[in-house]
A = this chain, B = another copy of it.
Amino acid sequence: MAGAPPGPTPFADRLYQAVRTKNTRVCVGLDPVIDRLPGDIRERAVEHYGDGPLAVAMAFDEFGRGIIDATAEFAACIKPQAAFFEGCGPAGMYVLQALIQYATERGLLVIEDAKRNDIGSTAEAYAQGHLGQVKLIGGGAGRAFGPDALTVNPYLGRDGLLPFIKACVQFGKGIFVLAKTSNPSSGDIQDLIVEGRPLYMRVAALLKELGSGLEGESGFTPIGAVVGATYPEQAVELRRVLPSSWFLVPGYGAQGGTARDVVVTMDGAGMGAVVNSSRAIIFAHASDAAKAAGFDYRQAAAAAARSMRDDINSALAAR
């Protein structure tokens, strides 16, 4: 490798560094819903852009920047949910891209939750457009959506994962592959028994195989897994087989997972998992406590993110 230029710092190492230096395992889920945004943001958007999809997207833009500013100190990463941006049409995708860049500038790692999946050159197009670079007509490279990591669905097998992994290695990015999700019906497919073990363990075995040899300095690979906090026993099982994967853990708070449930996904040093909370942080302004305190949405989000950080760190210290 003598003479090879140093590649970009791998996502797994950057996440390790962020969790350690900021001492937080919080991932803020940016899942904007227009009805739940503060009234002044919605009114301003209609006034400036008219009452169409663009106003919805621009309201998400102002709201998203406010949430990023308010929570950057307390979170390791932010996870914009592509569905809510796509849900207001193409304008929403510009805002998604802009917010990814804004969060990066504010020092947050960005996990784009898009659950993309396809095969061959199609998966490559997703990988380039999100994690890599847009291929231009003259041969140059244009700006992609640009997150540090992307969530990916494994149903298509390794053909559907390899193009994403290739982009991860080339651009220092990461993926989080759905293994055992937090929803009540995740068992319909994921818990089916294959050769005596649940399907999600087979997915884990595939991720382990594909990640082998890709460990960075931190010991973690670019191939993470989505592991719901609502199924702590399964999370422990997955941690055992995937010691070198970052876990993205949804289901804390609103969905019922506790701090004790989520710390089981972390290694002895308290590393290896980031825990997502969406509504309980970004819509904290609607809570009675926030109203009693006179908090605006940013103050409420900051307080919720800080309290979640401390809740998880206390559970780590107490185990």
Which residues of A does B touch, CB under 8 Å? 31, 33-35, 42, 45-46, 51-53, 55-56, 59, 81, 83-84, 86-90, 92-94, 96-97, 115-123, 125-126, 128-130, 134-138, 140, 142-145, 153-160, 178, 181, 183-190, 192-195, 199, 202-203, 206
Contact = CB atoms under 8 A, between A and B. Distances in A.
Contact of A87 (B88, B128, B155, B181): B128
B155 A183 contact: no
Contact of A33 (B53, B93, B121): B121
12 contacts: A31-B122, A34-B137, A51-B137, A53-B136, A56-B136, A87-B135, A120-B183, A155-B178, A155-B189, A189-B202, A193-B195, A199-B199
A157 B126 contact: no
Contacts of A136: 34, 51-53, 55-56
B194 A51 contact: no
Contacts of A34: 135-137
Contact of A154 (B33, B35, B125, B155): B155
Contacts of A126: 83, 86-87
Contacts of A33: 121
A160 B137 contact: no
Given A159-B184, A199-B199, A142 B189 contact: no
A42 B135 CA distance: 13
A60 to B, nearest CB: 11
Contact of A188 (B45, B96, B192, B206): B206
A183 B137 contact: no
Nearest to A181: B156
